[in-house]
Amino acid sequence: MQGNGTKIGFIVAFLAMSVYYLWPTIANTLEQNYIEDLPEAERTEYVEENAQRLQNLREESLSLGLDLQGGMHVTLEVGTPQLILELAGDYADETLEEVINIADQRALENNTDFIEEMVTVFEEKYPDARLSRYYRSDAQDITRRSSNEEIEEYLKNQRDSAVDRAMEIIRTRVDRYGVTEPAIFVQGNNRVVVELPGVANKERIRDLLKGTARLEFRLTATPDQISNARERVVNYYSELASDTTDTTLQQNNGQNPLTQVLATQTRNAYSFGYAAGRDTARVNELLQRSEVQDLMPRNVQLMWGASPFSETPQGQELFELIGVRPEAEMTGEVIEEASVNFDEATNQPRVSMNMDSEGARQWSRITGANIGKPIAIVLDGYVYSYPNVESKIASGRSSISGLENVQEAEDLVNILLSGALPASLEIIEERTVGATLGEASIQAGFYSTLIGLIIVAIFMIIYYHAGGAIADLALLLNIIFILGILAAFNATLTLPGIAGIVLTIGMAVDANVLIFDRIREEQRTGKTLRAAIDGGYSNAMSAIVDANVTTFFVGIILYSFGVGPIKGFAVTLMAGIVASLFSAIVITRVVVDYLTQEKSAEISFG
């Protein structure tokens, strides 16, 4: 019996700790059930009165994965090639672009770091040149003389800070959106993962995450330039339409493919034409042709209006294509404050902005020089409005109208204030699970665990009699331990995680099976019960250790390679192994020893 005191101490401590860490989860579940049963009127009052306490409970509870509570998981990638090109600024040339393109391709094929590949490609192609010709900058401690290694270091730092900044900006945006317990973290060297439990409006989140918030104030092109451009492009397609050899424009029956989708009877002198929402992509495609690009005057760029200006009787929303200057007069960095208010005349929401002093000075100059002409307010490549300048604006105030609703206005303010993203962000993975599916999964997981547990428990008693009952007790405690470990490590319970627990139930009895089978063997050799028990436990040990260590290794590997739910599975698998070893070896031994204290004691292992 020696040492059993210590063992019992361990068991009690382990159990107490598990219960301690699980308590908030239990309390939270009880509270939620209580709240659900309350009548509607009392419910709100109760929730308000206990808001703080309820929130604490929720935060300390074992958290559920998105697959169990519903929500959205998004992985965003910071566009490194683009960032590196932009960093070169005015020094960028075709050579650099080519190097970047080759490096991008290689990095993808070889799964290597893009910046390292870029340096390699550059050195291969231009052994006598230095990258510093593109990246010299006194402010950054790199000069013309900097070595390629120094530039590599510099570029990596720039990328890291771009990723950090992207993460911070996303955090600000998401926080203001009001998601409970969002998780935002960096993965690898250029990815940001965003997990948003319980989010229903996916589209809004996508816009919020991807909005680069590049705000520009641009002059419009002159009416002459716009009408000239239109004439040339329309003529080009008229000629092309009669040319039947061009197969890219088939099935047009000789009609002008552009005017089929774009109305050219314009709304005003600055508009190039308009199209239905579903046709805008086709219009873009037609305008993107290199022949068409060559026809366009250099100082005209066409941009779509952000919101429809009208609807057809059939309910098709119509969007306008506006001619603006290719370069921005001013960008959004000067914006200091932004808020939502309403246009007094139309009662439409709009976003009012205040500029800093430098911005106000510039704004005053620009507006002063363009009285009577429109200035386009462009956000992320869409024209929100292009009001006529009535008079010189010295206050540094401006506003964006043409917003669909208050929600859009609020999101815009949020994006403007959190700042522009340092580089383009692309959604490379997105997974969403509806709340009802999540709930169904919890139920499925719960019942699977319960049924699995009952089947194994009954089987063990039938097969090992008293020994089986002891193993069942250990199994029960085992599950409490696993949940306790998960709660203590702040792990998230996912559906594969529950599968891991279920699997552990099946495998957890393995250690006891090894021990009990061994005890039976020892008994067959004629040993006394006590001696057989001692022999059973000690002889089975090496097999138990080997078997579990190998599975534990697999858990570690799964954890380090897997993402999301797979990690959850790996964590429960590992927690399960630790917990089941403890229960199967220590707990059952204490119980067996206790039951066989008397020399004459009988205990059946089947």
Partner 1 sequence: MRWFETPDFNFLKAHKIGYVVSGILLAAALIGILTKGLQYGIDFKGGKTFVLQFEDPVEVQDIRSELAEPLGGAPEVKFYGSPEEVLIRTDNPDDITTVQNAITGAMGQLYPDNPNQVIKTDIVGPRFAEDLKRGAVNAIIFALIVIFIYILIRFKDWTYSAGAVAALFHDVLIVLGVFTLLSDIVPFSLQIDQAIIAAFLTIVGYSLNDTVVVFDRIRENSLLYKTMDYDEMINKSLNDTLSRTVITSVTTFFVVAVLFLFGGEVLRGFSFALMLGVVIGTYSSLFIASSMVIELNKRQQKS
**Residue labelled with tokens 């009802």:** 436
Residue 420: CB minimum distance to partner 1, A: 21
Quick check: 198 binds partner 1 (CB under 8 A)? no
Q: What are phi and psi of 310, to 5 degrees?
A: -165, 175
Position among 4, 448, 523, 596 found at the interface with partner 1 (CB under 8 A): 448
Q: Which of residues 13-72 bind partner 1 (CB under 8 A)?
A: 67
DSSP class of residue 370? T
Tokens of 90: 């005015």
CB atoms within 10 A of CB 246: 11
Find, among 275, 281, 242, the residue nearest to 261 by Cα.
275
Q: Give the residue among 217, 421, 420, 214 at the shortest CA–CA distance from 330.
A: 217
User: In the chain, how long is the greatest CA-to-CA distance?
Assistant: 111
CB of 439 to partner 1, least distance (A): 11
User: Which part of the chain contacts partner 1 (CB under 8 A), choosing from 34-42, 157-165, 253-261, 558-566?
Assistant: 558-566
Q: How distant, in Å, are the alpha carbons of 73, 386, 451 from that of 415?
A: 20, 21, 49
Position 223 contacts partner 1 (CB under 8 A): no
Measured from the CB of residue 517, what is the shortest distance to partner 1 in angstroms?
A: 5
User: Is 551 a binder of partner 1 (CB under 8 A)?
Assistant: yes
* Per-residue x/- track, 456-485, partner 1 (CB under 8 A): x--xx-xx----------------------
**Binding residue (CB under 8 A) for partner 1 from 248, 265, 436, 525:** 436
State how far Cα 473 lies from the chain centre: 42
> Which one of residues 18, 146, 414, 441 is an interface residue with partner 1 (CB under 8 A)?
441
Residue 522: CB minimum distance to partner 1, A: 12
For partner 1 (CB under 8 A), the number of binding residues is 74
Output 8 or 186, the one with its CB closest to partner 1. 186
**Closer Cβ to partner 1, 453 or 485, answer by number:** 453
Which of positions 76-115 make contact with partner 1 (CB under 8 A)? 77, 108, 111
Q: Which residues pair with 275 in a beta bridge?
A: 319
- Least Å distance, CB 429 to partner 1, is 5
Write down the least CB distance from residue 334 to partner 1, Å.
31
Measure the CA–CA gap between 273 and 227, rounded to whole angstroms. Answer: 10
Residues 497, 569: contact at Cβ < 8 Å? yes
Q: How far is the CB of 436 from partner 1 (least distance, A)?
A: 6
Work out which of 295, 480, 566, 595 binds partner 1, going by CB under 8 A: 566
Among the listed ranges 15-23, 50-58, 240-248, 537-545, the one in contact with partner 1 (CB under 8 A) is 537-545
DSSP codes of every residue in 172-211: HHHHHHT-SS-EEEEETTTEEEEEEET---HHHHHHHHH-
Residue 314 binds to partner 1 (criterion: CB under 8 A): no
The answer to whether residue 513 forms part of the interface with partner 1 (CB under 8 A) is yes
Q: How far, in Å, CA of 342 to CA of 390, rounded?
A: 20
Residue type, 573: L
Rounded Cα–Cα distance for residues 501 and 486 (Å): 11
